[in-house]
Structure 1
């Protein structure tokens, strides 16, 4: 068993000296720690101080990895792609995967959810880019860490403890966390909250999997003196035995995101219904030289759908019917609702017991270091449809 000691801190907001001092204290007393991750806003309002940390005049005592901006005011301090600012300070980029030299797999997403993609905002397509990585991996077990600037929506659902104050969450991050299945999920936003662990499988319906711990961290040097630095040891999930990986911590709850996944599926279905699309023809063919003399050879002409105009593509042939597969989707939704009802009932009883390129490969960092510049050419991505966590799943594939 090779466990790595890791530090994670919340929004730094330019409080670099306080961060360096505290990291040194913890490392001297409880170390050595192999790395520090910073979630949320890293830079502050003082331009001179920000320039010092970028240039290396202020040095970090550990290899330090930071996320991108959460507001337009600090965006100017970040390049478009991930890079090394100085010897010990690395900007990860907007989104991607970091594979550390010690075997940890870290997924990350910078910024806050917004109406359009920008240096400090993410949208549904950014989630799809990360999900595409999962679909390309055989034998996927989950990630070791997920780092986000924003909280997932409804994260406290089913939990036996709750945050001190409400914090805005993103349904897209809920979807991402449900799909990536991290051992630990850290987020900033200035509020400390350590949720009771939740499981990543449905009891009696799926194989046992590991649990996820969500931890929200307060801002560095906050006036409420809430926890902003988290020290822990972790073993890479790929190095665990099945028994070690599937052991459930005490007070583990159901996954809090099932209701969100259901709503995302319904919303996607509504959008599909409202937008005119092309029709589909299903053709079953008989066996060659069959005794019933049924048709076994079909000749036709076809124009590639991507070369059609909208009018040509959406023109409906005579006698076009409704999609025959809607009942399957409806049964799926009913199943999710029933599952959620049982989980809520179970939770009530338990309380008595107390950046980057859009290419999937380009989102992966294999060495723990980022280049100073990147000329990689984006490649077209195919949608991820293998799991309910993907809101863009084609309904006939669900």
Structure 2
């Protein structure tokens, strides 16, 4: 049976960090455990001194909490120059993109306030919207929609008649609803709680799917508001990609007509932005990523954006650049190949067939198949009295590769100490993953990392952040440590 994800949705925190953390801790103990917290609206307020103890480690956020970007210019400074980890367990998702959690829930997000002109630190424009719409379709012929769409602004026309008039609404969010077909849309900023009865967004020519799944909208109030309107909402759901078709199309008793007229909406949006009514096809995998940027950013300059061309990826099977003669075998979701310029004989690579940035973004099916490959290789190396080391470097690489390096079994006694000592020499620290922890729980999304699984299945890892200059030839360095002449 597919494991359901449990997520807490939170409205505008506006600096009430202690109130948020206390409530989340109580709810998590009472009805959890929950996987994560998603915050919409303003995470920061006017006075954010209460956040300092969390940044200093004096207080701790109880659950991994993902927040949207700033909605005002005076909040930009709180985001620490676009660093994704603001403090332990608080992560800035970024301007726009799609985050897939460990259980396969796909969360689309867009941060800030809509602008008809430029895309800035606290604004987004229609180009951001178009790229977000195109993102889930890349390499995904079976697109069904996304599980959750989070934004600070509400979709325009989402409020039913005879209800209040929303102030922070915009047609761009409505457009995202029509194109991404989310099961849940969650927004903030209005300061009130509002739950609209479900509706279905009709299929469009360019939506990528003929399914018309149910969409539900939640507008959440401010944390600790005096009217005690709901600002924390518990959600338990099976990831959309793991649901049966019959479950997705099943009718509900309280459905209402779709509040959006897509033809009118598209005509209005496109005419406002002076563009043609056809979506261009793009083939780079991620949006505005900071993970593998090899460009030095000087003070005062804007970060350049790299458009990833999947046809030029050395590790995509369909790419003309792919060297097929290195392939050993191809599975359902992964393939095994020889490493080009391997460190030792029978140095192999396990890679997903589809284009994924890292193991954390891979689906459960891919991760399961990788485990099968790993077990098979352990048996394969036994014939030479060898054991494999598995390592992954999610840094300055675009396609996930799991390096498989065999070493003599007799060289494993001091292996952990060798790795730790060599990492300290290189200026970073390898941490040990606890026996009851999973890697996705300690590694935030969009943070570059290096991880290694030793023959005893102990995992060591490090986050590669800020000014850390991680050595790309690290494996060569520790290879010298155990292969002594």
Q: Is the 8 A contact 1:80 1:119 kept in 2?
A: no
Q: Where does residue 174 of structure 1 map in the other structure?
A: 174
Pairwise CA distance, 1:363: 11
Q: Where does residue 252 of structure 1 map in the other structure?
A: 255
The 3-state SS of whatever aligns with 2:146 is coil
1:222 aligns with 2:220: no
1:344-355 to structure 2, matched below 5 A, reads none
| Residues 165 and 226 (structure 1), Cα distance of their counterparts in 2 relative to 1, 3 Å cut | farther
Q: Is the 8 A contact 1:65 1:91 kept in 2?
A: yes
Counterparts of 2:273 and 2:87, CA distance in 1: 46
1:35-46 to structure 2, matched below 5 A, reads 35-46=36-47
Pairwise CA distance, 1:53: 3.0
Q: Is the 8 A contact 1:52 1:58 kept in 2?
A: yes
Counterparts of 1:211 and 1:45, CA distance in 2: 38
Q: TM-score, structure 2 length as denominator? A: 0.55
- Counterpart selection for 1:370 from 426, 431, 446: 446
Q: Where does residue 209 of structure 1 map in the other structure?
A: 212
CA deviation map 1:277-322 (0-9, x unaligned): xxxxxxxxxxxxxxxxxxxxxxxxxxxxxxxxxxxxxxxxxxxxxx
Q: Is the 8 A contact 1:41 1:69 kept in 2?
A: yes
Pairwise CA distance, 1:32: 1.2
Counterparts of 2:94 and 2:118, CA distance in 1: 17
The 3-state SS of whatever aligns with 1:144 is strand
If asked which structure has higher relative contact order (CA below 8 Å, sep 6+), I would say 1
Q: Is the 8 A contact 1:82 1:93 kept in 2?
A: no
CA RMSD of aligned residues (A): 3.0
Pairwise CA distance, 1:57: 2.9
Q: Where does residue 4 of structure 2 map in the other structure?
A: 3
1:1-398 to structure 2, matched below 5 A, reads 1-81=2-82, 83-114=84-115, 115-136=117-138, 137-156=140-159, 159=160, 163-189=163-189, 190-201=191-202, 207-258=210-261, 261-265=263-267, 268=270, 356-357=288-289, 366=361, 369-371=445-447, 373=465
The 3-state SS of whatever aligns with 1:51 is helix
Pairwise CA distance, 1:207: 4.7
Counterparts of 2:133 and 2:174, CA distance in 1: 13
Counterparts of 1:237 and 1:86, CA distance in 2: 31
Gaps of 5+ in 1: 276-328, 330-354, 376-398
CA deviation map 1:359-381 (0-9, x unaligned): 67799872652317589xxxxxx
| Residues 269 and 172 (structure 1), Cα distance of their counterparts in 2 relative to 1, 3 Å cut | closer
Counterparts of 2:213 and 2:42, CA distance in 1: 30
Pairwise CA distance, 1:135: 3.4
| Residues 163 and 218 (structure 1), Cα distance of their counterparts in 2 relative to 1, 3 Å cut | farther
The 3-state SS of whatever aligns with 1:224 is coil
The 3-state SS of whatever aligns with 1:197 is strand
The 3-state SS of whatever aligns with 2:197 is coil
CA deviation map 1:74-103 (0-9, x unaligned): 110114545122331111111111111111
Q: TM-score, structure 1 length as denominator? A: 0.66
CA deviation map 1:89-132 (0-9, x unaligned): 11111111111111111110111112421111111111011022
Q: Which has the higher strand share?
A: 2
| Residues 20 and 167 (structure 1), Cα distance of their counterparts in 2 relative to 1, 3 Å cut | same
Pairwise CA distance, 1:272: 5.9
Counterparts of 1:88 and 1:173, CA distance in 2: 28
| Residues 13 and 222 (structure 1), Cα distance of their counterparts in 2 relative to 1, 3 Å cut | same
| Residues 28 and 269 (structure 1), Cα distance of their counterparts in 2 relative to 1, 3 Å cut | closer
Counterparts of 2:79 and 2:356, CA distance in 1: 17
Q: Is the 8 A contact 2:153 2:169 kept in 1?
A: yes
